Amino acid sequence: MLSVGGADAIRSRYSVQGPEALQWPDAIRVWDAIRTLCGVRRLSGGRQDASDGAAGWYGGLSDSAPVHLCEHFLVSVQQLSGLPWWLSIVVATLSVRTLITLPLAAYQMVVLAKVEALQAEISELAKRLRYEVSVRARERGWTEKQSRFQFQKNLRRLVSQLYIRDNCHPFKASVLVWVQLPLWISLSLALRNLSLNQPDVGADLAVGGALWFPDLTVPDSSWMLPVCLGLTNLLIVEVFSLQRVNPSRVQRIVTNAIRAFSLLMIPIAATVPSSMALYWFTSSLVGFSHNLVLRSPAVHKLLRLQTPGSASPYRDLLSAFIAKYCR
């Protein structure tokens, strides 16, 4: 819990009114962690120094209003719940991931299911269009290049009309990334500000940890949180990779790149305050749990997905995992 003086300082520092103040996400990049390696420190509320170069945009972004709103949200959760800081971070993460990103993930599934359901119709349209273009090419004496151009142009037009008809343009499936990534980075930066640049809150965070990380303002010297984070992220990558029966070369390259990034996150998480590492680990764990929930046949029925799913998705997932890694 915050001390009386610390609580008064927080109320004065975060004088944002209304419940909507707790729901405003913004963005910063994962380079925040890498900036930590270089010893960059910017005071929350301080002015940006143009002579700092690269540190200038970082300082300005860390001092932006959306990040302060995330700070206010985290402090409010701790004050209203009365929980220790480590558990408040877990509760805040669970709330954000469940109330914001889980519905978006469900919406993404609906859009992708509609797109997948259209593939048979698109294939049939492509066959008829190819025949019509070949007939027109003979009539007008088009070259092969001209015929290919006309086919692709008209196919794109027809596919676009199908997407509009079923309200399932693939770009809508990316809304989850455009919300989740900025929110994740914004909350990360808010925790960094609270841990390093707010003495009143930092004093409570310094004694608000648990188990092997009692001080949330310093890195986890045991590396247990970073390693758990890396393993969880790798598990998520492997679960997604099991969905692809015959991945293309590009898909394999992307999957390997994500695996490498998951491993890179381990040393990065070992250099940031434990509050950030705890948030990253909790966020990954909750995200993995949500991914499993969204595989449920009951959820598919509730969302009225147009593509049939497996009646036993968890058993199928376990069997695929065993077949790939245990034999």
How far is it, in rounded angstroms, from Cα 222 to Cα 278? 13
In the numeric block, which tokens belong to residue 157? Answer: 């037009």
Residues 205-257 have pLDDT tens digits of: 888 888 888 889 899 889 999 999 999 998 888 887 776 667 777 878 888 88
What is the predicted pLDDT for the residue at 58?
A: 67
The answer to whether residue 17 is domain-embedded is: no
In one-letter notation, the amino acid at residue 272 is V
Confidence of residue 301 (pLDDT cuts 50, 70, 90): confident
The answer to whether residue 12 is domain-embedded is: no
The answer to whether residue 239 is domain-embedded is: yes
Which one is predicted more confidently, 286 or 239? 286
What is the predicted pLDDT for the residue at 231?
A: 92
The answer to whether residue 7 is domain-embedded is: no
Residues 14-25 have pLDDT tens digits of: 333 333 333 333
Candidates 101, 32, 25; CA nearest to 69 is 25
Q: Are 217 and 206 in contact (CB under 8 A)?
A: yes
Confidence of residue 116 (pLDDT cuts 50, 70, 90): confident
Stretch 5-28: mean pLDDT: 38
Percent of the chain with pLDDT over 90: 24
Candidates 235, 215, 234, 212; CA nearest to 223 is 212
**For residue 99, pLDDT beyond 90:** yes
Confidence of residue 113 (pLDDT cuts 50, 70, 90): confident
**For residue 30, pLDDT beyond 50:** no
How far is it, in rounded angstroms, from Cα 198 to Cα 209? 17
- The domain total for the chain is 1
The answer to whether residue 131 is domain-embedded is: yes
Place of tokens 């990049």: 29
What is the predicted pLDDT for the residue at 97?
A: 92
In one-letter notation, the amino acid at residue 230 is G
What is the predicted pLDDT for the residue at 199?
A: 79
pTM score of the predicted model: 0.74
What is the predicted pLDDT for the residue at 84?
A: 92
HSE of 166 in the Cβ direction (CA atoms, 13 Å)? 23
What is the predicted pLDDT for the residue at 11?
A: 40
The answer to whether residue 298 is domain-embedded is: yes
The answer to whether residue 21 is domain-embedded is: no
Residue 173, domain extent: 64-326
Q: Are 249 and 56 in contact (CB under 8 A)?
A: no
- With vertex at residue 65, the alpha carbon angle to CA 70 and CA 189, rounded to the nearest 5 degrees, is 45
Q: What are the distances in angstroms from CA 242 to CA 79, 105, 313, 314, 319?
A: 42, 19, 12, 12, 10
